[in-house]
Amino acid sequence: MATVKALVISGNGTNCERETAFACEQAGADLVEIVPVWDLVAGEKRLADYNLLCLAGGFLDGDDLGAARACANRYRHTRIADGEKRLWDELREFVQKGNLVIGICNGFQLMVKLGLLPLIDTDNFDQSVTLTFNDSGRFEDRWVELLCDQQSPCIFTKGIERFEVPVRHGEGKLVTMNDDLLESLSAKHLIPVRYTRLGDKLPTEEYPANPNGSPGGAAGLCDPTGRLFGLMPHPECYLHRTHHPRWTRQADLPEEGLGLRLFRNAVEFLAESGVRS
């Protein structure tokens, strides 16, 4: 069994790093560390020492220039202190090695602006999608229900049919370069989670079940390998039944919140696959 080492990056506006790290711990990771991004820049910590990267939610750089845009520029252009490599070079090597990455909310926004998602062309990390302002024109803080695509290669959502989680964002609407790209993502099952109405079996674009107006109810994306995954809702906020807003009224809620299953899937995959840091 391979050792699972999870890195949760913090700093410059993240505010969900502790919950995300706790989710990794509860999922069974052997090592979980919260590391400020500037420790990576200083060369004090290296991405190569881990095999699960978690880009947590928050408001990177105050969402200046658009959500996660400033941070994406930092990754692409900031050189690591002890050599010629940029932080972007280390991140690309981490991805190409076959490690796992999950980006949640602001972390998802960062992944699309770095070109890590949907990454249909593995030789091209150009940005092809973005996440923009909610159709409601305001910040949305509510619980939503998600449908999982059973044919998606996404490692994180394997074995999950549907689950409820909270959203907390102002820029969550998925926008692609063209309709053909959106259709291609759907055909290749690279939209592993979609918003749905409570108890329904179809995705929805209707507010408030779809909190941002994403076409086709898209709530997240994965790459063709299923190893890279980003979503706007917060699975790290539903780890136990008492996190659910109906926990005092709904007797059939399981003790373990379904948000934790995403992290368990990642840890179990790394432990069994032999991917080593």
Point out the residues that are catalytic.
Answer: 105, 234, 236
The answer for residues whose C-beta is within 8 angstroms of residue 132's C-beta and 6 or more apart is: 66, 171, 173, 175
The answer for residues whose C-beta is within 8 angstroms of residue 265's C-beta and 6 or more apart is: 155, 156, 157, 158, 159, 160
Provide the 8-state DSSP code for 265. H
Q: What is 68-89 written as a DSSP string?
A: THHHHHHHHHPBPTTSS-BHHH
Three-class SS state of 48: helix
What whole-number distance in Å separates Cα of residue 259 and Cα of residue 187?
Answer: 26
Tell me, what amino acid is at 186? Answer: S
Beta bridge partners of 194: 147, 218
Provide the 8-state DSSP code for 98. T
Measured CA to CA in angstroms, residue 183 lies from 18, 188, 215, 229 at distances of 36, 9, 10, 18
What whole-number distance in Å separates Cα of residue 71 and Cα of residue 62?
Answer: 10
Residue identified by tokens 């592993």 is 192
